[in-house]
Amino acid sequence: MKDFAGRFAVITGGGTGMGRELARQLAAEGCNVAMCDVSAENMAVTKSLCEADAPQGTRVTTFVADVSDEAAMLAFQRAVAKDQDTDRIHLLINNAGIGGGGGFVNGDREGWERTFAICWGGVYNGCRAFLPMLMAADEGHIVNTSSVNGFWASLGPHTSHTAYAAAKFAVKGFTEALITDLRLNAPHIKCSVVMPGHIGTEIVANSRKVLTGDESERLGAGAIAQARARMTRQGMDTASISDDQIQAFMAEAARRFRDDAPTTAAAAATIILDGVRAQRWRILVGDDADILDSMVRADPEKAYEPEFFTAMAEKAGWRVGG
């Protein structure tokens, strides 16, 4: 699939970040885009940006859906068929995801399962819902977003990260298994697993809103307590830190994650679409992803030791701590 003009693409998580930039770049090429997200407001912004650059006649449609809900994804599929007036799609990008979920041993079970259900279940539900429309096309491509945490299950030696990492490993394994499944049973459909490093997106702020169900910009009491506990585990003395200070600290962390990232969401979207054009099944996004991949492969037994993380973060240019 070298050219996306006139094709139909479905993108989950199109409201912000990589999903928004993928929608913008595809629409600018004349690809019809159908997106879903939990935020109608964010999608409205994405749609406006897409339509500003898209050739006349390009369709950009939106649908509010939680990707972890199979019924919602099936409703999204029906809406795509109706709103785009098509019985087929050519590109399915399962991009929606959240961070968080924390640890398995001492973490909150509800948050753990919510993270897993979105990051892994969203990919599964997306593929189930839209496979018939991909099968009906002359050619198709499935893009599943994993992470560097799909081959390295860590955020460093002081942070439990099992929910997100387990989900992203599942996405990677599923997509690799699909290669043979599709070759045998639907050879006109290809697939790719995307493994981004640190990309400048709103995932930190968005994840907190999804996990807490609170759309406000300020953290609730529960979120502040969780942040305080996490900071304490990382060796910070939080006894003298006020709730307002924690609020400011978390807001600044979200801003830095977005603004100080080595790879922008727009650059990431370009890398992903170039990978689809080249029919690459494995798409690493960002120099830090390449560095981490090579280091894990070179010495997998040491991948979870503190000194490995220190060396990797320095080499990849990751900012660690305040």
The catalytic site residues sit at 164
With beta carbons less than 8 A apart as the criterion, state whether 84 and 62 touch: no
Contacts of residue 2, Cβ cutoff 8 Å, sequence gap at least 6: 277
User: Can you tell me the distance from the alpha carbon of 106 to that of 112, in angstroms, rounded to the nearest whole number?
Assistant: 10
318: helix, strand or coil: coil
CA distances from 164 to 16, 151, 155, 220, 278 (A): 19, 12, 10, 22, 28
With beta carbons less than 8 A apart as the criterion, state whether 114 and 210 touch: yes
Task: Print burial letters for 48-70: b (CB count within 10 Å at least 16), e (below 16).
Answer: ebbeeebeeebbbbbbebbbbbe
With beta carbons less than 8 A apart as the criterion, state whether 198 and 261 touch: yes
Burial grade of 237 (CB within 10 A; 0-12, 13-18, 19 or more): exposed
